[in-house]
Amino acid sequence: MSNKIVGIDLGTTFSAIAILDTIGNPEILPDLKNNKITASAVYLSSNNESKVGSEALSAIKAEPNRVITEIKRHMRDEVVYSLKEGKWIEKSFDQKLEDEFTPAQLSSKILEKLKNFSENIDKAVITVPAMFANNARQATIDAAKMAGLSGYESDVVELINEPTAAIFHYANLPGVSISGKVMVVDLGGGTFDVTIAEVNGKKVDVIHSEGNPNLGGKDFDRILLEFMSNQYKEQLGAELSIDDVEYLLQAEELKKVLSSRESHGIILDGPNGPSKKIEISRTQFNDLSVNLIEAIKLKMESCVRKSKLHKDDITQILLVGGSTRMPCVVDAIKQVMGKEPTKGVNVDEAVASGAALYAGTITDKSNLNEAQKEAMSKIDLSDVANHYFGTLAQTLDEERQKYFQYNSIIIEKGSKLPVAKTNQYSLIQDQDGFPATVTQSDGPTENKEFVHIIAQERVDIKDGKKDDEIQITFSYDKSQIMHCTFEHVASGKKHEIQIKSKSSEEVDEAQKEMKNFTID
């Protein structure tokens, strides 16, 4: 069996790793206890040991401040986890303390654990939510480097969107017929994505993706925990902390039970002692979750509309992510789409399996045996950009005779990947330089107040004249990493920006900090 080609689902709640077997089929690798999914939890002990998965969660009672969960939700944020404070805090750019760790560093321990299930990895594809911003994607690449999955270039590690990987898996299942325009509803622990793709045999062509990076199963858990806290307060006069990991795990377990039972009771051990049994019905849970369900419905409707399709054009609906097991989610899909989703596939394993298949298609073919080459030759994938990218430019307000700054879109959301686009601009006066700015937005806005600036540098030129042409080229690769060139045509001066991960020195330093915590 070849253990060299892997796909990794780095999830908010659970993670998994899959390999390509000797005939080119994906296979989930279990841990020593034969578990095929690993809890995305990290425990950093006071004696420099680390535990990942269920072993980390088992340390919550003893040292709750040292157990970190929901790491993926912070991958795009400028935050660090403080062991001293037991929570995420704003990152200081002046000084980073020894007991503070970035989301990328903590994610690297999860990846290191998964990497140890295999050996001699030649190609790894890690999945990310479709709506992950560029900085979150780069943080994921950083985490992979710190985990020892690749060198300082991302040639060994690439990224793929989670719903795209899932479609890839479904389309390549033996004995399963997936064809036409299909919708993937992906509700994981921390994020929600809905994607529509055209599937023809083993060819997958993504049409459009929508999503919410702040909507997932954990939000349903918190709604349940708020209910539990209110009930506890009515009985014993004290509230429960809705950020307490132990209570959140109890709420998660209650959510799972309500997916198979109409009602359930729970006894809570809170600050004022144990409660009487607190009962909640599935109907009550659904009523509490109505705003979250409406948000899911709106994204599904938006995805169909922006794909320029009608819901009747969708031939099948595929489920991904453990939170799609909730009956209220399945009911919402039926209400919006008027049809039942396809069932019978393990929603926890589809993403990692699809990533392993994709890894097989893009790896150096010398890493594959003949059977694997044959299997990979039949597979084709085309993905799309899930954000708008542009630059800040100036234009003349004819009425006021004043220049104002606006966001000029260069790469449209929905563009087939890889994509490269060049726009022409000109200098508005004689000048010795100009700004090189890269923006990202969810919508096609020209308003600079509604965009995120992901890079801002200056291009120095000599003797720049008014009306000199400036050519700006953006290229966006299959891992959805941006490369930008700003050229002053008259002088031939080019300035390149790659929205890239940390430098080798920064990765080395971050990796050294995490190597102090050995995996148990």
Q: E strands within 123-245?
A: 123-128, 157-161, 180-187, 192-200, 203-212
Q: Using CA atoms, how far apart are residues 251 and 241, in angstroms rounded to an integer?
A: 12
Region of 344 (left: φ > 0; alpha: ψ -120 to 50; beta: rest) is: left
455-469, pLDDT tens digit by residue?
Answer: 899 999 988 999 999
342, 317 Cβ separation under 8 angstroms: yes
pLDDT above 90 for 336: yes
Where residue 480 falls among pLDDT bands split at 50, 70, 90? confident
Work out the average pLDDT over 429-446: 92
pLDDT above 60 for 153: no
Is residue 320 helix, strand or coil? strand
Q: Using CA atoms, how far apart are residues 15 and 53, in angstroms rounded to an integer?
A: 9
**Residue 339, φ and ψ in degrees, nearest 5:** -150, 160
For residue 300, give the nearest of 345, 339, 341, 332 by alpha carbon: 332
495, 485 Cβ separation under 8 angstroms: yes
Give the length of the chain: 520
Work out the average pLDDT over 274-286: 95
Percent of the chain with pLDDT over 90: 62
Model pLDDT, residue 66: 95
Model pLDDT, residue 121: 83
25, 368 Cβ separation under 8 angstroms: no
Q: State the chain's mean pLDDT as an integer.
A: 90
483-501, pLDDT tens digit by residue?
Answer: 899 999 999 999 998 776 5
Region of 317 (left: φ > 0; alpha: ψ -120 to 50; beta: rest) is: beta
Model pLDDT, residue 254: 96
294-331, pLDDT tens digit by residue?
Answer: 999 999 999 999 999 999 999 999 999 999 999 999 99
Where residue 92 falls among pLDDT bands split at 50, 70, 90? confident
Q: Interior CA angle at 227 toward 221 and 231, to 5°?
A: 140
Model pLDDT, residue 151: 46
Q: Interior CA angle at 260 toward 257 and 262, to 5°?
A: 85
pLDDT above 70 for 154: no
Where residue 389 falls among pLDDT bands split at 50, 70, 90? very high
265: CB partners within 8 A, 6+ apart: 277, 278, 279, 280
For residue 506, the surrounding DSSP H or E stretch is helix 504-515
pLDDT above 60 for 152: no
CA distances from 211 to 187, 296, 338 (A): 10, 9, 21
Model pLDDT, residue 345: 76
Work out the average pLDDT over 418-440: 93
Work out the average pLDDT over 88-96: 81
Beta-bridge partner residues of 425: 470
**Residue 76, φ and ψ in degrees, nearest 5:** -95, -5
CA pseudo-torsion sign 170, 172, 173, 179: positive
Is the model more confident about 220 or about 342? 220
Helices (H), 44-91: 54-57
pLDDT above 70 for 474: yes
Q: Using CA atoms, how far apart are residues 27 and 19, in angstroms rounded to an integer?
A: 5
For residue 434, give the nearest of 475, 397, 400, 391 by alpha carbon: 391
Where residue 119 falls among pLDDT bands split at 50, 70, 90? confident
Q: How many other CB atoms are there within 10 angstroms of residue 281's CB atom?
A: 13
Q: Using CA atoms, how far apart are residues 437 and 459, in angstroms rounded to an integer?
A: 10
pLDDT above 60 for 400: yes
